[in-house]
Structure 1
Amino acid sequence: MTAITWSGPDTTHPARTASRRSMDAVTRGAKDEWLALFAEDAVVEDPVGKSMFDPTGDGHRGPEAISAFWDMTIGNVERFEFDIRDSFAAGDEVANVGTITTFLPGGSRIDTEGVFVYRVNDDGLVVSLRAFWETERAMATLRKV
């Protein structure tokens, strides 16, 4: 499988473009490129609500918190694969539907099914990334590869 499989519409939309750039940077481990996609006042909620990554459920707000989110989550994964089955753009947002497969150190993988919503500002920078997925469902897919 390639790092990103895209089955959604290929029409140009600022939020869709930002989401695809985000996935590309993640698959390449390009932290600085990924961080440059976000506005100064951006928030990342991945997953939305309280979680092991965000005990308060308030999201990771601003450059320092988003950078720390990368270090805590994305930076600890050996490889990512994105399988986006559909994408719905409206207004200044896009909702991508698909699976993110993470390959963890030690030879395990997890498939996270979800809806991944990006909102951009007039400059095309991400002001909000909200990932709707369920920890229990994702953890149920944990297996050795």
Structure 2
Amino acid sequence: MSAEHPARAAGLASQAAVRARDKDAWVALFAADGIVEDPIGPSGFDPEGKGHRGPEAIAAFWEKAIAKTDSIEFLFGDSFACGHEVAFTGVIRSVIGGYRIDAEGVFTYRVDDAGKIAALRAFWEVDRATATATPVG
């Protein structure tokens, strides 16, 4: 996938920061009023389903959802860029607590005019992902 589109470039940079376990670089990719909805709606990461808005809330999301994993892979087959947005399709594979979990879905990034992430939205189902849990090793 080429990164020539601003939203695609931001999405790829986000994925690279997560793979590198670089919280500061990841948070810095977001606009000051950026939001993370991963997954969209109420979840264990976001009981009220309102998303995580602003640098402090996005950093707190990292601690709840990303820092607790042993690894994260982005197994995306394709992406579709339109306007200020891109949608990646595929699987986010996480290893946590000795289990591999695959969250299949659609993962979108919307950027502002400066190329900062205004919204990261993840369309995946917790129950479906949990059902994929398999022991590692």
Give the TM-score band, short-chain normalised.
Answer: over 0.9
* Match in the other structure for 1:4: none
The amino acid across from 2:40 in the alignment is V
Q: Distance in 1 between matches of 2:45 and 2:28?
A: 21
* Match in the other structure for 1:38: 30
The secondary structure found in structure 2 opposite 1:16 is helix
Q: How many residues align?
A: 136
* Match in the other structure for 2:91: 99
Q: CA deviation at 1:11?
A: 5.5
- Whether 2:105 is the aligned partner of 1:130: answer no
The secondary structure found in structure 1 opposite 2:67 is helix
User: What root-mean-square deviation, in Å, do the aligned CA atoms of Structure 1 and Structure 2 show?
Assistant: 0.8
Over the matched positions of the two proteins, sequence identity in percent amounts to 54
* Match in the other structure for 1:51: 43
* Match in the other structure for 1:70: 62
Q: Distance in 1 between matches of 2:135 and 2:72?
A: 15
Q: CA deviation at 1:52?
A: 1.0
Q: Distance in 1 between matches of 2:35 and 2:3?
A: 26
* Match in the other structure for 2:82: 90
- Asked if the contact 2:3/2:9 (under 8 Å) is kept, the reply is no
- Whether 2:42 is the aligned partner of 1:12: answer no
Q: Which structure 1 residue ranges, 4+ long, deviate > 6 Å from structure 2?
A: none
Deviations 1:43-70 (A, max 9, x none): 1000001111111111001111000000
The secondary structure found in structure 1 opposite 2:95 is strand
The amino acid across from 2:44 in the alignment is M
Task: Specify every segment of 5 or more residues in structure 1 that has no aligned partner in the other structure, as ranges.
Answer: 1-8
TM-score, normalization by structure 2: 0.97
Q: Distance in 2 between matches of 1:129 and 1:68?
A: 15
Q: Aligned pair in 2 of structure 1 residues 65, 17: CA closer, same or farther (>3 Å)?
A: same
